Each structure stands twice: as C-alpha cells, then as structure tokens.
Amino acid sequence: MGEGDATRFGAEIEKICREHSLPLTSQRRVVLEALSVRPTHPTVDEIWEDVRRTMPDISRTTVYRILETFTRLRVIRKVCHPGTVARYESRTSRHHHLLCLQCGRMEDLDDAALDRLALPGKETGFQIEDYSIQFRGLCSQCVSPSDTGSRKRGSQAIGG
Amino acid sequence: MGEGDATRFGAEIEKICREHSLPLTSQRRVVLEALSVRPTHPTVDEIWEDVRRTMPDISRTTVYRILETFTRLRVIRKVCHPGTVARYESRTSRHHHLLCLQCGRMEDLDDAALDRLALPGKETGFQIEDYSIQFRGLCSQCVSPSDTGSRKRGSQAIGG
DNA sequence: CTGCCTGCAAACGATTTGCACCAGC
DNA sequence: GCTGGTGCAAATCGTTTGCAGGCAG
C-alpha cells in the first residue's frame, strides 16, 4: 500500500465532501480509508470486515450506502467483475485489469502505452470519458496448481 | 439479425455438444439460438422470455444452467456489466464495449486497430488468452435527453 | 435547530440447490 | 437401460428499503 493511495482520502475526503455538500461523517472517513488501503478489489463485506476493527458497530447497510454514494460521485469505482458480488476500487486514474477465468482473481495492470489509446470517435454515439482494458486468462496459480493447497474460489463460470 | 450470428449455433451446436460429450437437448438448442439472435447483451430473464415463445414450458432454472454450462466451456461469455444482473453474449471473437455510466446501456464496438494490441508479457504472472476494452461515458440519449420520454433505467451508481 | 446519515430489521430479487421425473444416446 | 438434463419449489445470499433516532453543519 503505497502512501499515495493509502493516504489518498486522508486529507482529500474533507474537500470531497465539502465540494459535494455532503456531511463528513466518521463512517465515510473510515470506509473510504479502508477501501484505499486494500490492495485488491474488495467486496462490500470485505470492506465491512476491515472497518469493523476500527468501528465495531458500523452497519453493513451503511457501507453499502457510502460506497454507492461515492461511486455515483465518481470518487471511487465499482469494478467490472464477472462474479455476482459487487467489488470496488479507490483508483480512478486510468489503469487496466488482469482477470483469471478460472478462479476470479483480479489484479491491476499499469502500462503507459496502453493508457494512450485513441478514443473512438463520435460515430459511436457515445461521449467517452475513459476506458480500461480487461485481460483475461489464467493466473499463475491456476496455470500450474503445483501447490496442493489449491485456490479457495472454485471455477464459477466466469465469463468476462 | 445478421445470418452470421443468427445461424452461428444452428449447425455448430451439434459439434459443440459432441466435442464436450454433452447431450444435445432441445432446450440447449433454443437457448443458444435465442442468445445468438439477440443483438444486445441480454439478461437471463430476457433470454427466458424469448425462448418461452418457442418453448412455453421451459424453466428459468434451465436457462440459468444452460448459460452457465456454455460459459464454462467458453462457447458464450458472461459480459462485464456493473449492474447486478448477469448478462451474456454469444460473440466470443475479439471485440470491445461501450458502456453508459448513466443508464447502463452497453453496445459492441468493433475496431480493427484496437484488436491488435500487444498482450502484456510474463511479468504479469498471468497467461493471457484475450482482452477487451471497455469505453465508459454517456450514450447519446443520456448526453442530450431531448426526448422528454426519458430512459427507463435510472442512474444506478454504475461504476465500471 | 434542521436535514441528511445511520442502524436495524424486513423486504426484495437474482441465483442456486434438492429431488423426482424425463429424454438423449 | 443408464446417465445426465430438466422442472419445480424452496433455500440462499447479496442488496435495497422503511422507519426512528443521532449527528454534522
């Protein structure tokens, strides 16, 4: 967790809330903090578990609502994952994803060349803001399941 | 419905099932046929509705199971859509997607140049098979909601 | 103060599962 | 005939909602 991301919301969250006329609650602070510290693409429940260590009485509903609020404001993002549970990420700068079709593992991929693609033109009918590339395949552990202690998540018809 | 896709599974499905030692049932035939005819990225229920016109007694559960089976065999794909319901597509050849962050509409994008990106190397730890690009923005109707009859789907914290 | 936010519990909706029967091979 | 597929209904599980009290501004 580079301090760049870990502290991203530390000072910024006050500005974010002020700009959007949102009350800055302690729940909002810890939820965004927990998301930015997580290196992966956590589910709502994973964030909830993290946050409960600091704030044991926070409700799961509140976590849902906070993530939804900030997603709509484009402060965080819901990641595109073929599983059935929602996953979030705090990075909104351009980057790409590696997805394992076998176990569902998803990792970030940074590649400056891939960040410079020309956007499709107006003929699409869309006003495009951004893009990201999803690379699909098998992660190292699913390619060579040498370690007998196999992955937790079974193969759940992941499609991409 | 271009005959290229509309008939994709017409003859091929027998081969597909034989290759995977799957019994070729009438349900499998009509579900794959319905998916390949749909121009968009239908949900399970949309496919179910289509199929019921031909086969009124087919169960929704069966549609779920057939789609899951063929997704695992890589015959069809589950598309990455930020909504909460699963969506499928019959196209497994490389192509890209346009996603509207406001209403969730998703369209295919074909662009030969975008199909030729260099895959990331081994340093990722993934054995990559394919990729697709998701372009995010606003569709024409969400950019200029001139028609007073606005879109059906509300803005549901779509994140991408 | 006042309005938005939170917590709780119930509602909701998509997906999955157990089981008995049926169809493809 | 045997094996796996299907249909039904119930169970599951992630997510949303209604409402009463609490906190930020």
pLDDT tens sequence across A45-98: 999 999 999 999 999 999 999 999 999 999 999 999 988 899 999 999 999 999
> Which residue from A minimizes the CA distance to B69?
A157
Q: How far is A32 from chain B (nearest CA, A)?
A: 16
- Percent of chain B's residues with pLDDT above 70: 87
pLDDT at A151: 45
Q: Which architecture does CATH list for B1-92?
A: Orthogonal Bundle (1.10)
Residues 50-79 of B with CB under 7 A from strand C: 60-61, 64-65, 68
pLDDT at A130: 96
Tell me which H or E stretch contains A109: strand A106-109
User: What mean pLDDT do residues B62-88 have?
Assistant: 95
Domain boundaries, chain A: 1-92, 94-118+129-160
CA of B84 to C1' of C15 (A): 11
Q: What is the mean pLDDT of chain A?
A: 88
- pLDDT band at residue A147, thresholds of 50, 70 and 90? low
Identify residue A70 by its one-letter amino acid code: F
> Which residue from A minimizes the CA distance to B126?
A139
In this structure, of A8-22, A39-53, A61-75, B20-34, the range with the lowest mean pLDDT score is A8-22
Tell me which H or E stretch contains A60: helix A60-72
Contact B77, B112 (CB under 8 A): no
Q: How far is A57 from chain B (nearest CA, A)?
A: 25
Measuring from the CA of residue B67 to each C1', which nucleotide is nearest? C15
CATH homologous superfamily of B94-118+129-160? Ferric-uptake regulator, C-terminal dimerisarion domain (3.30.1490.190)
pLDDT at B145: 73
pLDDT at A145: 73
Tell me how crowded residue B101 is: count the other CB atoms within 10 A of its CB. Answer: 23
pTM of the model: 0.88
Cα(A136)–Cα(B127) distance, rounded to whole angstroms? 8
